[in-house]
Amino acid sequence: VFAMLICVYGVIVGEAIGWIWGIVVIAISLAYFVVLDFVKVYIFNHWNFEFTAHAWPTKERRVKLAARKARVIQQKRVWSSIENVRQIGLKFKVLEALKA
């Protein structure tokens, strides 16, 4: 915005471009900003580390990818165990309700 004001009034170069051209430049910048922001959000939603590790394979990325996959498997087992404990607790509550 500050640069637009300098150009509109022609402070540095001496020749002013006028308010209409200044507003047109800001409008074009805003349009590019909106389009590129949608592209950026789309890329962020679809980009993942696994793609990066396969597209540009290095030893560090392969090791990190293997560690992430192992962590996912471990997390699935942990959540499965937690669900089993919850089911046992639910069964105890049902038995207590039937006794009463």
Q: What is the pTM of this model?
A: 0.49
pLDDT for res 64: 93
pLDDT for res 37: 97
Query: Tokens in use for 75?
Result: 């997390």
Domain ranges of the chain: 1-47, 49-100
* The pLDDT of residue 90 is above 90: yes
60 burial class (0-12, 13-18, 19+ CB within 10 angstroms)? exposed
